[in-house]
Amino acid sequence: MKKADIYQFYARLAEDRPEPKTELDYVNPYTLLVAVALSAQATDVGVNKATKALFEMVTTPEQMLALGEERLKDHIKTVGLFNTKAKNVIRAAQILVDEHDGEVPADREALEALPGVGRKTANVVLNEAFGIPTIAVDTHIFRVSNRTGLAPGKTPLAVEKKLEKATPEDFKQHAHHWLILHGRYLCKARTPECWRCPVAEFCRFKPKTVAPKRASQKRAQNA
């Protein structure tokens, strides 16, 4: 994708969603960290349901340790891999208390050293909680970047590096959210909704999908 097209690509996404934000519910950086860790191989909707009551009781690592692993499991048992995730959340809480005075560090290396926290989770926390212009490449961003030609790559890390280089400074802070939401609601995995896409003219995906009614009409004409 050409540099000028990339700028317009983001400008259109920004116009479509002026104030993008994560769809995970959280209270502070710590609850965001927990929510993002729980969201691996789970939906944001499912995580929000599981953490609604939890975050009314627990908003700090100290409170999470007081809650304990078994009671945490009761709250998150509807989330996939909840046994492993509960264990990691408790271990991470202990490290935060022991090594970071109970605060979530605004540092990638320190975040990735926590159990259950990978590069993607660290990037989300750095971006959302601390305003650092990181781009966390999940399945949606990976798909959108490759499908559109914005930042093609064979691995999430390769895509992340290309996005960091290609994304104009004006859009770096919110690029992560724009791309995720675009992939979740328009550039869907099975059938991208090209007919209502604000950036279709810059996208390399072919052939573009047409609106359902138009598609049925086209089939009728060819019959």
**Residues involved in catalysis:** 120, 138
Q: Quote the tokens at residue 64.
A: 């999470």
Q: What SS3 string covers the chain?
A: CCHHHHHHHHHHHHHHCCCCCCCCCCCCHHHHHHHHHHCCCCCHHHHHHHHHHHHHHCCCHHHHHHHCHHHHHHHHCCCCCHHHHHHHHHHHHHHHHHHHCCCCCCCHHHHHCCCCCCHHHHHHHHHHHHCCCCCCCCHHHHHHHHHHCCCCCCCHHHHHHHHHHHCCHHHHHHHHHHHHHHHHHCCCCCCCCHHHCCCHHHCCCCCCCCCHHHHHHHHHHHC
Kindly give, in sequence order, each residue whose CB lies less than 8 Å from that of residue 212, ignoring residues fewer than 6 positions away.
none
Amino acid at 207: P
**Interatomic CA distance for residues 133 and 135, integer angstroms:** 7
